[in-house]
């Protein structure tokens, strides 16, 4: 199946987060993104989900280490 790309507003809706949250994650490098020839930011859904899952796993590991 070909990769699925979304703009920020659509991805924020799909992830059920605010548009501002998505832009914050982008600026902080928490999720991968691409710029097209016009400078618009797009997101590969599979890459974003993988990054969020990885970040969640790290956070869970860190919580277990402090207990």
Q: Count the domains in the chain.
A: 1
* pLDDT per residue as tens digits for the range 25-63: 999 999 999 998 899 999 999 999 999 999 887 666 655
Residue 3 is predicted with a pLDDT of 84
Residue 48 is predicted with a pLDDT of 96
Name which of 4-8, 11-15, 30-34, 62-66 the model is least confident about.
62-66
Q: How far is CA 31 from CA 14, 18, 39, 55, 64, in A?
A: 14, 15, 17, 9, 24
3-state secondary structure of 5: strand
User: How much is the pTM?
Assistant: 0.78
Average pLDDT over residues 13-25: 96
Domain of 32, in residue numbers? 5-66
The CATH number that applies at residue 29 is 1.10.10
């Amino acid at each position: 199946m070909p990769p699925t790309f979304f703009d920020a507003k659509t991805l924020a809706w799909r992830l059920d987060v605010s548009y501002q949250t998505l832009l914050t994650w982008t600026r902080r490098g928490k999720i991968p993104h691409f710029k097209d020839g016009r400078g618009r930011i797009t997101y590969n859904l599979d890459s974003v989900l993988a990054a969020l899952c990885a970040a969640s796993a790290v956070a869970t590991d860190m919580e277990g280490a402090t207990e």
